[in-house]
Structure 1
């Protein structure tokens, strides 16, 4: 069990270093995180972009050990960085100084991209001072209002990634507002259907419950008070959100009011993808790199 991000870092240091392809790498914040991950020994960076700018920044921050591929422009850098992953010359793709829309277009490019035919989704991971282990959450950043078929794909991607993180049967909560299937509340119907899929072996193995409300998922006494015999209450590993609003609001409230730390990767492509934001701290970036490297375990 990974209790916090330090545990995750220690876990990833035990595996063979992963090659991380950084698209348009001439960004100081990104290169600082990549440098730190390389110094910890769990990645071998391939920096793709303007060689002169990359090397200048690298020299300024004391980044010494890396491979660099010189490209004339952003479009060439994206194509090269993505192609490295597609051709299995790199294990993970990471966003550098490139617009998110351009980055995503590169990932989904029909010629050289990382399409698998599977829906892309975000796996977010949170470390909360009030909780005894890391919490994995999906999907709070890509799919706005997924239908049941899409939720099945999102759940499958998360469980496959978590298996690479060492989970055999993650305790999984299909979150909604209550524990009763109500035809008028689609999220409860979907939650119940997802649990049935788990029971039938239609998705990777996990201990799934739903529909289930947040208080029951995280408080064993709340479950007992409601007469619910839960195997996951108070010890949840994975939350499956009903829609992007629920996941986004939940995650941001944890960050704002609970002093949470977090990391996130995109699943559903041919390899884990680090999306990131310019506002992300170096800590978020390095945690996301570590998460992607573990999810890419061969």
Structure 2
């Protein structure tokens, strides 16, 4: 199935009856608390707040949030809230992670740790999902935050990981547009050559249950009218499910341009890790943070499980709630 808007995804989350447990690493952060408590009010998230307990309690009280719907996990001064979040994931106690008021490096260090982290697949990328004004359905986009200059091998991995995420959302056999500036294979333009190779790999079934179209320009990928005007004959023109950008900077610039339009809604998270990780910019607005939580809650797909959530910085087997 396809979704016309995030409202339909919210409906899917509500109808599923599943409530994802969200570990907020560095929870003494107003923006993170606003987003996670709003998600809790909508019914698809249960907050697990990791930080200095007295600071988190004080902030929750000052913001007049519903303390009863959250678990607070105390983080001692010599501990990293991200490390505690990772231990809770490994213990099966939470379903995804949200970056709170900590540095991105501090968040990623325990997640990517080769011995005790969450990088089971050995490849982590960023997955975006967007509601763009004028486009008829939600549109995914490949890495705009993690892999700066993906090789052909990297792009193949990105396609596999991101289309698996789309399949988890119920989007079967997604169509991926391998973006370039032209539709011909120009040997002087590596992104065109690699797009054609990815399309060939897709035809051979090497990229999973998806269709890769490319090289193709953005206008032809997203507009049937543009394709008709230019005489571009492809059944998927104007109806793709995902954009595969040639480099990280392309996706980064595109997303920031889209963000300038308040009618657009962007969401994103890390995938390839054992659980999704909501990694939004501190400057991200309320809508982006809320819908990133929605995306993670659906991709985390928790099975119904009783609480309590294990608490304790050193021993995830403890089960006391503050």
Q: TM-score range by the shorter chain?
A: over 0.9
Which residue matches 1:152? Answer: 156
Q: Confirm or deny: 8 A CA contact 1:164 1:296 kept in the other structure.
A: no
TM-score of the two chains, using structure 2 as the length reference: 0.88
Which residue matches 2:238? Answer: 234
Q: Confirm or deny: 8 A CA contact 1:30 1:282 kept in the other structure.
A: no
Separation in 1, partners of 2:78, 2:29: 13
Which residue matches 1:177? Answer: 181
Q: Confirm or deny: 8 A CA contact 1:25 1:48 kept in the other structure.
A: yes
Separation in 2, partners of 1:26, 1:32: 11
- Which of 46, 49, 66 does residue 47 from structure 1 map onto? 49
Mapped pair 1:63 → 2:53: no
Separation in 1, partners of 2:166, 2:202: 15
The alpha carbon displacement at 1:225 in A equals 3.9
Q: Confirm or deny: 8 A CA contact 2:48 2:73 kept in the other structure.
A: yes
Runs of 4+ deviating beyond 6 Å: none
3-state SS of 1:144 partner: coil
The alpha carbon displacement at 1:207 in A equals 2.6
TM-score of the two chains, using structure 1 as the length reference: 0.95
- Which of 79, 100, 104 does residue 104 from structure 2 map onto? 100
Q: Confirm or deny: 8 A CA contact 1:49 1:73 kept in the other structure.
A: no
**Which ranges of structure 2 fall in alignment gaps of 5 or more residues?**
303-322
Q: Confirm or deny: 8 A CA contact 1:79 1:112 kept in the other structure.
A: no
The alpha carbon displacement at 1:211 in A equals 0.6
Which residue matches 1:73? Answer: 77
**Number of equivalences:** 298
3-state SS of 1:14 partner: helix
Higher deviation after alignment, 73-82 or 3-12: 73-82
Which residue matches 2:223? Answer: 219
Q: Confirm or deny: 8 A CA contact 2:135 2:222 kept in the other structure.
A: no
Q: Confirm or deny: 8 A CA contact 1:24 1:74 kept in the other structure.
A: no
3-state SS of 1:152 partner: helix
Higher deviation after alignment, 13-22 or 66-75: 66-75
Q: Confirm or deny: 8 A CA contact 2:176 2:244 kept in the other structure.
A: yes
The alpha carbon displacement at 1:210 in A equals 0.5
The alpha carbon displacement at 1:67 in A equals 1.0
Q: Confirm or deny: 8 A CA contact 2:227 2:238 kept in the other structure.
A: no
Mapped pair 1:131 → 2:131: no
- RMSD value over aligned CA atoms? 1.6
The alpha carbon displacement at 1:208 in A equals 2.1
Which residue matches 2:309? Answer: none
**Which ranges of structure 1 fall in alignment gaps of 5 or more residues?**
none
Which residue matches 1:189? Answer: 193
Which residue matches 2:23? Answer: 21
Which residue matches 1:260? Answer: 264
Separation in 2, partners of 1:25, 1:276: 14
Which residue matches 2:297? Answer: 293
Deviation track 1:234-289 (CA, whole Å, cap 9, x = no partner) reads 11210000001211122222222574221111111111111112212222111000
